[in-house]
Amino acid sequence: MNTLNTLIAAPGLAGVVVADTAIGDVRGDEGFFHYRQYDATQLAEHRTFEQVWHLVLFGDLPAADGAQSTEDAAWTARTQRALAVDETIRTAVTQVLQVTPQADVMTMLRTGVSVHGSLVGDAALWDSDEPAKEQIALRTAGFLPWLVGAAYAVRTGAQPRTPRPELGYVGNYLWLVTGAEPSADAVRALSRYLCLTVDHGFNASTFTARVVASTGADLSGCVVAALGALSGPLHGGAPSRALDALDEIGSADRAEQWARDRLAAGERLMGFGHAVYRGLDPRSELLKRTAAELGGATAELALAVEDTVVAVLDEHKPDRPLRANVEYYAGVVMESCGLPRELFTPTFTMSRTVGWTAHILEQSRGTKIFRPSSRYVGPPAPQPLP
């Protein structure tokens, strides 16, 4: 018997440590997660998305004040160059996306990232030095806001807009999608969401990116693979479904019966519970405050419905507290910022791409390819041919 096959992992590799990372960690039992050495929710509330980007990619926050503010300014200028996206690249990618304008945005993102990689000469990580890897990581993450906006424009029969990097990562993205000058409130709210979703442990897409990176493949290929994982409905599609549930409920007085009916039917209540957190999702708490600050009918409904649904869940599963997760308020915040529901998962993708590229670079510094074993459960072999 193969001794390797006696070491059987739990389904989904739950609880199995497969690699070391210095990028961040999730401590689900404590309701806490961090990027590098900093509380992620504190970063989301008090730092810009660009600063968090620098932290996960390079390991430190750029100095932001006093005589050292030059460092922050230099990083801002570098990110703006990445956000600009050369016109020849925009034209070529738009032409490719227009071949299948009916495709969903997540499918277009896979195509766009692949085309972008070939246009900028993305080389195998195995053959690239550290500066080259950092440069393609920066260019790829900076390309995503324009790509999401362009894919949505093609889907709706419009022309993609020209980036405005001077608006910053978040403001530029809102401009690319809506064509309107972004408000300070919308930029602050969406920045919080994006900062909160940059990284979250070895989730399916991050792990996928690292597996591909372990082969020495090019960074674009790693990101395309991660995009494939994220497109699955069990991974990246919950924000819009949580908002759809609010639409179905309609008013706070209907929330209790709605929740009881779903539970009786054995259905999951979208936006509640998390695979890692056993209580409060810290991301949800900040987004809840953000939704309340933005205001509006949807935010008011979400706040009222949450209390009712939690009470029903506590009664239904008294031994396991199920609370609102990041997806519940994410949709409320994104819609309040002017984003259509079709772009909720792609917006999440933009943020997560920053985290993926950091993980890809970290994995590329090793020399060991991922090659786990499997347990054969088919008929005994060998058997004579019929």
Q: Are 203 and 26 in contact (CB under 8 A)?
A: no
Determine whether 14 is exposed, middle or buried from the number of CB atoms within 10 Å of its CB (0-12, 13-18, 19+).
Answer: exposed
The verdict on whether 316 is a catalytic residue reads: no
DSSP assignment letter at 26: E
Catalytic one of 54, 116, 306, 327? 327
Question: One of 274, 306, 335, 362 is an active-site residue; which one?
Answer: 274
Distance CA 187, CA 109 (A): 23
- Residue (of 164, 167, 119, 109) closest to 141 by Cα position: 109
Quote the radius of gyration of the chain (alpha carbons, Å). 22
With 0-12 / 13-18 / 19 or more C-beta atoms within 10 angstroms meaning exposed / middle / buried, residue 239 is: buried
Neighbours of 215 (CB within 10 A): 16
Cα–Cα distance, 290 to 1 (Å, whole number)? 57
Instruction: Give the three-state DSSP class for 35.
Output: strand
Q: How far is CA 333 from CA 12, 92, 364, 370, in A?
A: 31, 33, 35, 38
Q: Rounded distance, CA 49 to CA 217, Å?
A: 28
Neighbours of 342 (CB within 10 A): 15
Cα dihedral sign for 273, 212, 118, 359? positive
| Residue 274 annotated in active site | yes
| Cross-strand partners of 38 | 35
How far from 331 is each of 66, 158, 334, CA to CA, in Å? 37, 24, 5
Q: Which residues are catalytic?
A: 274, 327
